[in-house]
Structure 1
C-alpha cells in the first residue's frame, strides 16, 4: 500500500503507539498537583505539543502564576509516565505496517515526546527493532507544527523529504508533514486509528 515511498515516518503517541490513556493519566496527575485546570477539549487540541510547551499554553490561558518551574513540572509528568507506562501502552494497528516494511525501507519515529521517553515507550511495546531512528522534541529547535522533526528524520534516514510518508494523528503533526514537503497520512481518517486522549 505504501510501496511508492522510500522511507516511513511514524508519529508515536496516538499513531504507532496507543498511549492516550497513559498521557491522560500523567497529565491529570500533573495538573492536579500544580493546581492547573483541566480543559479536556484544549488538552486534546494540544496533542503532539511537547510538555513544556503545553504547560506554557495552559498557564497563559488561565492567567496562572506557576507554583513550580517548567522543568519541575515536566520532570514530574515524565516520572509518572515512566512509572505507569507498562500498564497503559500497546501498539496500534500500524505495528503491522512497520513489520511489513522492517528491513525493506528505513523507518523513523518523529515525536513531540522527548527522545528518552519515546524510546522507553517503544521498547515497552516491543517495537524497538522495527524503527531505525527516534527523533524527539529535545533534538530540534522547533517542535511540530514546525517541519524540523520530520526533516531531521529524513536526514537521519538519508532520504529526501519528498520521498517520505508520515503517519500522524494530530492536526499539528499533519501540518508539520506538509511544511516538510512530505505526504501526510491522517491515521484516523485513512486507517481508523483513534487516539483515546481526553475524549
Structure 2
C-alpha cells in the first residue's frame, strides 16, 4: 500500500466512482439482488463481479442472454426499477473512500473529474450525498459516451472537458476494465486495491 500521494507531475486527475472514490459496493449489490429477484433473473455473484463497471442496461442484456431468460419487461423498465432503488437507499450505504484525501490535496490546484459506468444523474446524487461534489469539476457517466469502459471514451471525454491532454491525466480505478480504458486513452492508471488497499465490496460472497 502506497503512502506517496505526490502526483504533481500530472495536469489532471480522473477518478472512477464506484469502488474507487466512493464505497458503494453494498449499495449496488443490494439494488441488483432486489432487481434480479423481482424480474426472475438468476443471481451469479462471480458473473456480477466480473461485470462491475458495466452500465446497467448492458449488464441486463448480458445476463438475459447468458442465462437465456424469458423476460416480459423491457430492459429499460428493469433499469428504471434498479435506479429507483439506488436513489431510495443510497443514503444507507455510500461513503467516501480514503481517496478523498487525494481530492482534498489537489482541489483548486488541478482539475478533477469522475469517469464512471454509472449514469450521470445517479452519480451526481451519490457524490453529493458523500460530500464529494465540491472537489470535482466534471462528472462523465455512461450516458454521455458512445462506448463504456473498457473503451477509452469515458476518460477521453473527461480530458476534453478539463482541457487537458490525455497523456497528462492520471486515472484512479478499481477494475481491470477501467484500467484498460485508461491505458487505451493514453493515460496513466493506478489500481486502488494495489496502491491504497481499497477493495470494492461488491458480490464478494457467492450466491
Matched with 2:39 is 34
Partner of 1:169: 174
Deviation at residue 66 of structure 1 after TM alignment: 2.0
How many aligned residue pairs are there? 199
The answer to whether residue 99 in structure 2 is matched with residue 97 in structure 1 is no
**Superposition deviation, residue 67 in structure 1:** 2.3
* 3-state SS of 1:108 partner: strand
- SS in structure 1 at match of 2:108: coil
In the TM superposition, what are the counterparts of 1:71-86 in structure 2 within 5 Å?
Answer: 71-86=76-91
Distance 2:155 2:89 in 1: 28
State the shift of 1:3 in Å.
1.1
Instruction: Show CA shifts across 1:5-60 (max 9, x none).
Output: 11000000000000000000000000000000000011001000000010011011
The aligned residue for residue 126 of structure 1 is 131
Tell me the distance in 1 between the aligned counterparts of 2:27 and 2:154: 23
1:64 CA drift (Å): 1.1
**Does the alignment pair 1:139 with 2:144?**
yes
Aligned residue number for residue 72 of structure 2: 67
Residue 48 of structure 1 is matched in structure 2 by 53
* Distance in structure 1 (CA, Å) of the matches to 2:86 and 2:53: 15
Q: Matched residue of 2:128: which SS?
A: helix
TM-score, reference length from structure 1: 0.99
Deviations 1:136-188 (A, max 9, x none): 00000100000000000000000000000000001110010000000010000
TM-score by length of structure 2 reads: 0.95
Give the Cα separation in 1 of the matches to 2:203 and 2:29: 6
CA deviation string 1:61-111 (max 9, x = no partner): 101122210110000000000000000000000000000000001000000
Partner secondary structure for residue 4 of structure 1? coil
Can you give the 5+ residue segments of structure 2 that lack an aligned partner in the other structure?
Answer: 1-5
3-state SS of paired residue (2:171): strand
1:186 to 185, 191, 195: 191
Compare 58-67 and 13-22 and name the one that shifted more: 58-67
Equivalent position SS for 2:190: strand
How far off is 1:2 after superposition?
Answer: 1.1
Query: For residues 173 and 66 of structure 1, what CA distance do their matches in structure 2 show?
Result: 30
Q: Following TM superposition, by how much is the alpha carbon of 1:191 offset from its aligned partner in structure 2, in angstroms? A: 1.0
Q: State yes or no: 1:108 paired with 2:113.
A: yes
